[in-house]
A = this chain, B = another copy of it.
Amino acid sequence: MPAKYSSSKENYLKAIFHLQETHGTVTTNDVANELQTRPASVTDMLKKLKAQKLLLYEKYKGFKLSNDGRKVALQIIRKHRLWEYFLVEKLRFGWDEVHEIAEELEHISSKQLIDRLDEFLGFPKTDPHGDPIPDSQGRWVQAKQVDLLNLPLNKVAEVSGIGDQSAEMLELLGHKNIGLGTRLEVKKKFAFDNSLEVKIKNQHTVTISEHVAKNVFVKYDE
């Protein structure tokens, strides 16, 4: 059976999905930028996606994925992340070398292949970057969001939001190398002043005050 959608369409769906999730809104320019292409090309493709009912789109009025489009996007993401897991865990690639290869592998169409791969890998919940892997029905285990004070000790989590976004706060976080998407875990909590020792993935440990901790939100798997 031939693939239902071209690789190109799949890439658009995936990009739109990501922008929707992370920025809330999506614009033609955002998509063009994400896919390293031109706004005019994006407009062309949006029309095709609309014609296939994968996208809700009215010209000049913005757009978002339909339920079907969302489903397709989730399957691509599932494939991408399972292949990344395979590359790192079985073929011993570094976690920073696998993205490009997975970009190609994610377009292999066989659903049976991906389900068997999933099984072979032991049904992993997250990819090597800590992002969740949707299951074969496209369900995610939606990560739980809490502030740093309430993150259980030794749980790896990903920074997903900042409460106080003042320049001072951002300067402090920048200095400590903490930003959106940073992966970290709380190693120690001092009862005296509620300060924390936080280990930042692939870096060393920093100390964070209660005030700061209350304003850093993270996601983690249960």
Residues of A within 8 A of B (CB): 87, 90-93, 100-101, 104-105, 108-110, 113, 116-117, 120
What B residues does A91 contact at CB under 8 A?
A: 113, 116-117, 120
What B residues does A116 contact at CB under 8 A?
A: 91-93
The answer to whether A104 touches B110 (Cβ under 8 A) is: yes
What are 17 pairs between A and B in contact, CB < 8 Å? A87-B113, A90-B120, A91-B113, A91-B116, A91-B117, A91-B120, A92-B116, A93-B116, A100-B110, A101-B108, A101-B110, A101-B113, A104-B108, A104-B109, A104-B110, A105-B108, A108-B108
Q: Give bound CA distance, A110 to B100, whole Å.
A: 9
Identical chains bound together, number: 2
What B residues does A117 contact at CB under 8 A?
A: 91
Least CB separation from A105: chain B residue: B108
What B residues does A113 contact at CB under 8 A?
A: 87, 91, 101
Q: Give bound CA distance, A153 to B101, whole Å.
A: 44
Q: Give bound CA distance, A104 to B105, whole Å.
A: 9
Q: Give bound CA distance, A91 to B117, whole Å.
A: 6
Q: Give bound CA distance, A116 to B108, whole Å.
A: 19
Q: Shortest Cβ distance from A100 into chain B, in angstroms?
A: 8
Q: Give bound CA distance, A110 to B102, whole Å.
A: 10
What B residues does A109 contact at CB under 8 A?
A: 104
Q: Shortest Cβ distance from A15 into chain B, in angstroms?
A: 18
Q: Give bound CA distance, A13 to B162, whole Å.
A: 42
Q: Give bound CA distance, A110 to B97, whole Å.
A: 11
Q: Give bound CA distance, A92 to B112, whole Å.
A: 11
